[in-house]
Structure 1
Amino acid sequence: MTPSLVVLTDFFAVTNRALSYAAGLAVPLDAQLVLLHVRYDGMPVPAGYGGQHTPRGERKTDRALLKLAAEQTVPTEVNVAEGFLPEALTEAVRRHHPLFMVLGRPSDATESAELFTSVVMDLLRHAPHPLLVVPPVGWDAFPPRRFLLAVDGEPFAFADQDHQEVVRRLLSATESTLDVVHVTDDTRARPADGVVLATVRANDLVNGFAESRLHEVYSPTIVGGVLEEAARQEADVLVLVARPHSLLGSLFHRSVTARLIQESPVPVLILPAGE
């Protein structure tokens, strides 16, 4: 079966940029694209694109989607769904078995950023599947060459074995490297030697992960430390592991994950962890 990437589209320019990024990744991954459009689900949509649920508006949406699919450089199909976004994504995962979903982050206006982050966290809770969030501006490197995985030092395992393969396939397809950052802040002590490295090696994300690629840093805040190390490493993609239930102070606590999604200047790949 040809692998696929499911791209959520609402016709905003930011989404189109995310679509271009997804299409670029689809080439080395030898994957096809699926444009997923969910009829108005409480999120803002451009005027005239079916927001009022009129037959004329919905026909215009369908024509625009087909045109958008035809313009892509890789095989692309259209999936128009009704109802709520989490349910639509769950069905898209069941039907298309994507490597990951792709979602474009809107501008940094506070209201839209908070709404977007709330949607992403809701999706991770109800439709746990790898999700790539592409920021509107600020990143230029393509294809990505440097991936940076942020870990909290606690053992983790992915919710699905296939999720582990996402990183391996991306690294192989783009001939990229993987580094790991662990941040110690004012509330968290540094783990014993070897503990963080063991949590990474236990998941076999790469063959023979080298100790030199683990970066232990101190920062007053977890978010600040991760983003500073990402800048120092000139990372092209930030990778996060989203735990379904995490303790306050964990790197993957909901508020920390949300801020990294909002503030990262480079795409963020979120991988759901198991219980």
Structure 2
Amino acid sequence: MKSILILTDFSDAAFRAAEYATSLAPALGVERMILYHAYRTMVQGSDVPVPAPQMENLVYVENMEKLAAIQDQLRMMTDADPKYELLAEDAFLPDQLNKLCREKEVGLVVMGVAGKTALQEFFMGSNTSQVLKVSEYPVLVVPKDAVVGKGISSVVFSTDLQNISKTSLEQLYRFLDLFHPEVHVVNVEPPTADKYSDDTKKQITALHNVLERYTPAFHYMTGTHIADSVLEFAREHHASLVITVPQKHSFISSIFHKSISRELAYHSPVPLLSIPVLPE
């Protein structure tokens, strides 16, 4: 993997995500970690971002100094000598994300998530709440209380059994091949769902075939709250990571949808890896 893009708003939650990414970097074979902060400069009295050269320069310098301080802290936690790139820019993150990832050959985007107020400000804000929606690259969401340095020994792959593109599968394979974890495949369906329709049987067979090389354990569950069921399963099985390829109304979208209890996301100690659905 060429690069990891670490998003930061300089919060404690974002720093934990950066620590977690640093601990994974050797296993991922990362050549460069990019510490990135997007900000908006505004002329006083205006609701619209307007170029203000003096202000923009001051904000830029201040943000670069903060990024340098994070870099120094991260270097102290590893015996390796990872290469960092510091990048702060006046930009709207959702508009810039994929372009930046293409230019920097990013293989993984990492972002933090914390409890209650910090979650609402950092993750559910107008910028970062859209990252999972717009990203064409895998996104790793790291809870504030995630344990750093233990590696990834067990993963829960949450799936709605919908067809997964070849590109998404290749990204999933890449992560599983790097860590060689114990794999649990979990499907949660509503009690009223027809779990044994011909189409469902075909999808189950296809999923068994594409994951056969990892000898996974398959778990088919019934529940009204997908996120609750999957995260409870992850806790019971001491999972290191939950992986999902989000479809409409999928696990990852349900966690962060206003109609589902946000307490799960506030307190879950399990990092979430969202692999985007991409066209063939």
Find the aligned partners of 1:114 and 1:156 in 2 and give their Cα distance.
32
Matches within 5 A, 1:65-80: 65-70=67-72, 71-72=74-75, 73=78, 74-80=82-88
Q: Which residue is equivalent to 1:122?
A: 130
SS in structure 2 of the partner of residue 27 of structure 1: helix
1:35 matched to 2:38? The reply is no
SS in structure 2 of the partner of residue 242 of structure 1: coil
5+ residue gaps in structure 2?
A: 43-53
Q: Which residue is equivalent to 2:19?
A: 20
Matches within 5 A, 1:1-275: 3-31=2-30, 32-40=32-40, 53=55, 55-70=57-72, 71-72=74-75, 73=78, 74-109=82-117, 112-113=119-120, 116-117=123-124, 119-137=127-145, 139=147, 142-157=150-165, 161=167, 163-192=168-197, 194-201=201-208, 204=210, 206=211, 208-210=213-215, 213-243=217-247, 246=248, 250-252=249-251, 254-256=253-255, 258=257, 262-263=265-266, 264-274=268-278
> Aligned pair in 2 of structure 1 residues 191, 114: CA closer, same or farther (>3 Å)?
farther
SS in structure 1 of the partner of residue 40 of structure 2: coil
* Contact 1:105–1:135, Cα closer than 8 Å, also in 2: yes
Q: For 1:130-160, what per-residue CA distance to the aligned partner results, in whole angstroms no more than 9, with x for missing partners?
A: 10000011546720111111111222226xx
Find the aligned partners of 2:22 and 2:146 in 1 and give their Cα distance.
19
Please give the TM-score of this superposition, normalised by the length of structure 1. Answer: 0.79
5+ residue gaps in structure 1?
A: 43-51
> Aligned pair in 2 of structure 1 residues 228, 41: CA closer, same or farther (>3 Å)?
farther
Find the aligned partners of 1:253 and 1:229 in 2 and give their Cα distance.
15
SS in structure 2 of the partner of residue 148 of structure 1: strand
Please give the TM-score of this superposition, normalised by the length of structure 2. Answer: 0.77
Aligned residues: 253
Q: For 1:91-140, what per-residue CA distance to the aligned partner results, in whole angstroms no more than 9, with x for missing partners?
A: 2211112111000013223x843761354442233333210000011546
> Aligned pair in 2 of structure 1 residues 141, 59: CA closer, same or farther (>3 Å)?
closer
SS in structure 2 of the partner of residue 181 of structure 1: strand
SS in structure 2 of the partner of residue 66 of structure 1: helix
How far residue 222 of structure 1 moved from its aligned partner, in angstroms, is 1.5
* Contact 2:64–2:87, Cα closer than 8 Å, also in 1: no
* Contact 2:243–2:274, Cα closer than 8 Å, also in 1: yes
What's the C-alpha RMSD, in Å, of the aligned pairs?
A: 3.0
Query: Percent of counterpart pairs with the same letter?
Result: 23
> Aligned pair in 2 of structure 1 residues 81, 55: CA closer, same or farther (>3 Å)?
closer
> Aligned pair in 2 of structure 1 residues 106, 8: CA closer, same or farther (>3 Å)?
same
> Aligned pair in 2 of structure 1 residues 95, 127: CA closer, same or farther (>3 Å)?
same
**Residue type matched to 2:204 in 1?**
L
How far residue 200 of structure 1 moved from its aligned partner, in angstroms, is 2.4
Find the aligned partners of 1:108 and 1:191 in 2 and give their Cα distance.
39
